[in-house]
Amino acid sequence: MNNKSDKTVRIIGVPMDLGASRRGTDVGPSAMRVAGLGAAIRKMGYTLAREEDIFVPAMETRPPEDSEARFKPQILSVCTELAGRVKELMDDGEFPLVIGGDHSIAMGTVAGVSAHYRDRGKAMGLIWFDAHGDMNIPGVSPSGNIHGMPLAHLLGRGDPDLAGILGFSPKLDPDKVVLIGIRDIDGGERKIINDSGIHVFTMRDIDEHGMAKVARRAMEIVTNGTDGFHLSFDVDGCDPSVIPGSGTLVPGGVRYREAHLLLEYCADSRQMTSMEVVELNPFMDHKNISAERTLRLITSALGKSIL
């Protein structure tokens, strides 16, 4: 992000849990507000616009018509509305901070960011922090849960409707996409990832080379020939000992200081133009500790430093 004085942050809550099997991510935006997210951002010196929410229908009121892409019509509608709003905010010079909700919302957030750059003939980069690849597609996904599919659709694969939000596809150049922290990949998804052309840093890469080297390389990739990058931060990329409040926990993840370091590199680059945080599930948490730690991680990404 650029200087705090010339940037307005807009928090958008997207209480989505239609993309997942386990209920509870719809309360993620509320947990972040209880933790004091808005006040923390103001304290850093940013102008904070009035917070917004995107309406999401309750799972119980809608039938999952398609077992290969559960709740597709509802997710498509929410993501289309979110995409339009994110584009409007970026066109107006604001910084969208989208709080989910499950990771299916990224199809909307990133579509909006991409459309903003596309209108200007510019390219965008993407950092996708996650324990999972999120590169399944309908017919390959073992569950049909769309929160495991968003990155594939942003790259133009899978369902044409989900891939074509805002009328164009793909949303991303795979050579400008970095996936960090993965350690739990479905069998059919592995080939999709390997064939995609994106840059991947698994937990083994982080173990062998350290987060500093991985973060430096990621910054080089997402800022090379781009006008900025989006950060899609799934809290399950962190180890469950750090963020227990998620329904998609996988042991052996990124430690707290490693996550901070990655986000400090994002801030230092001054090229992060939008951010989303997903998969926080307060029902799996202990006294909202995951939201409080996630808040600190967000402020690192927005430029809060130790000194």
Domains of the chain by residue range? 4-301
| Active-site residue flag, 279 | yes
Q: Which of 130, 159, 239, 258 is catalytic?
A: 130
In the set 102, 116, 147, 292, the catalytic residue is 147
Q: Please give the CATH topology (third level) of the domain spanning 4-301.
A: Arginase; Chain A (3.40.800)
pLDDT of the residue at 31: 97
Q: What is the pTM of this model?
A: 0.96
Highest mean pLDDT of the ranges 2-16, 28-42, 48-62: 28-42
Question: What is the average per-residue pLDDT within 125-129?
Answer: 98
Tell me which of 17, 159, 236, 285 is the catalytic residue.
Answer: 236
The pLDDT of residue 4 = 61
Is 103 marked active-site?
yes
Q: What is the mean pLDDT of the chain?
A: 95
The count of C-alpha atoms lying within 13 angstroms of the C-alpha of 224, restricted to the half-sphere facing its C-beta, is 12
pLDDT at 22: 82
Residue 209 falls in the annotated catalytic set: no
User: Active-site residue 234, yes or no?
Assistant: yes
Place of tokens 């929160």: 147
| pLDDT (tens digit per residue) in 131-170 | 999 999 999 999 999 999 999 999 999 999 999 999 999 9
The model's pLDDT over 258-277, given as tens digits with 9 standing for 90+, comes to: 999 999 999 999 999 999 99
Nearest to 282 by CA among 34, 108, 71: 34
Assess whether 239 carries a catalytic annotation.
Answer: no
- Give residue 65's pLDDT: 73
